[in-house]
Amino acid sequence: MEFTAEMIAGFLGGEIVGNPQAAVHTVSSIEEGKSGSLAYLTNLKYESFLYTTGASIVLVDKTFEPTQEVATTLVKVENVGECIVRLMQMYAASKPRRKGISERASVAESATVEGDSYVGDFAVIEQGAKIGANCQIYPQVYVGPGVTIGEGTTLYAGVKIYEGCRIGKNCILHAGAVIGADGFGFMPNAEGGFDKIPQLGNVIIEDDVEIGANTCIDRAKTDSTIIRRGVKLDNLIQIGHNVQIGEHTVSSAQTGIAGTSKVGKNCFLAGQVGIADHVTIGDRVKVGSKSGIDKNVADDEIRFGYPALPGMQYHRATAVFKRLPEMDRTLRQLEKEIQNIKNNE
């Protein structure tokens, strides 16, 4: 689908400098821009690319004034970053959604698939499952018995949702995500082995949640593992049984949260964060990458390191750590001087 500069300016409330009929059908970076693409200038250190880009249209701030001749069409807007996101959302929404149930899908008689939903090849919808309207169930998805999926949700290829789990409205689960596998629960026995503890709960994912590829969210031992509204989880994340994650919290890849821990709302967990079991993290907490949390964290705190320390304490400790070789040499020299003084007494 093509969009002209005139259409884009009208949608964004922008001002056109150049050809209002210039058309684009894709988005690119300004340095990689080609004919038919829309690029954007959000950082002036990339301004030089504006004068050489092949992009047909470039978004710039309203206050921007070029210092050289510009061959491409400019659309001046209030906030380039926000506008490019709005345009990408508009472009994604314009793509046609699939409809209908494939003849090669397996849908149980007692399952419900509401109007205009799509169920792809070799998807399996088990008995008692309920799929809301306008859902997109891609090939090889498994939806277990009694699962409910809210309207407008997308399950990409290979997603697996185990029995009794609940997915909200307008969620996106990317390829290979597994929702509701057994939590890691075992008890030592008299023979030196381990007996499995049955995991009898489920997983509840509220509305507007996005789950990355190959992320696993375990079912609860009892009650529910809960992912609250608006949470965004990256690829390759492990969420243990009975964990609760608060609204609008985001986490980067390879984070692991052990069983029964609670993460508050509007938190940010960077990549490879580890959270021990039975830990409570408050609201609006920020945790740096590769940090390990083994104790409760209050609201609005910042943590770095392993084990994680408060932000300023971590930076002071890091400054000392960098000087350890120098401090070691100084200490050894002082020990020699003290020993010499003792020898001469």
CA dihedral 2, 138, 202, 237 (to 10 degrees): -60
Q: Select which of 25, 241, 248, 278 is catalytic.
A: 241
Question: Which ranges of 13-162 would DSSP assign to H, the alpha helix?
Answer: 47-50, 80-94
The β-bridge partners of 218 are 181
**Structural contact between residues 113 and 134, judged by C-beta atoms closer than 8 angstroms:** no
**Could you tell me the two tokens for 215?**
């992320």
**Could you tell me the two tokens for 195?**
């007996």
241 given a catalytic annotation: yes
Cα(116)–Cα(97) distance, integer angstroms: 9
Cα(259)–Cα(72) distance, integer angstroms: 54
Sheet containing strand 268-269, strands side by side: 100-101, 118-119, 136-137, 154-155, 172-173, 210-211, 232-233, 250-251, 268-269, 286-287, 302-304, 309-310
Cα(234)–Cα(263) distance, integer angstroms: 16
Cα(101)–Cα(104) distance, integer angstroms: 8
Within 10 A of 48 (CB to CB), how many other CB atoms are there? 13
Positions marked active-site:
241
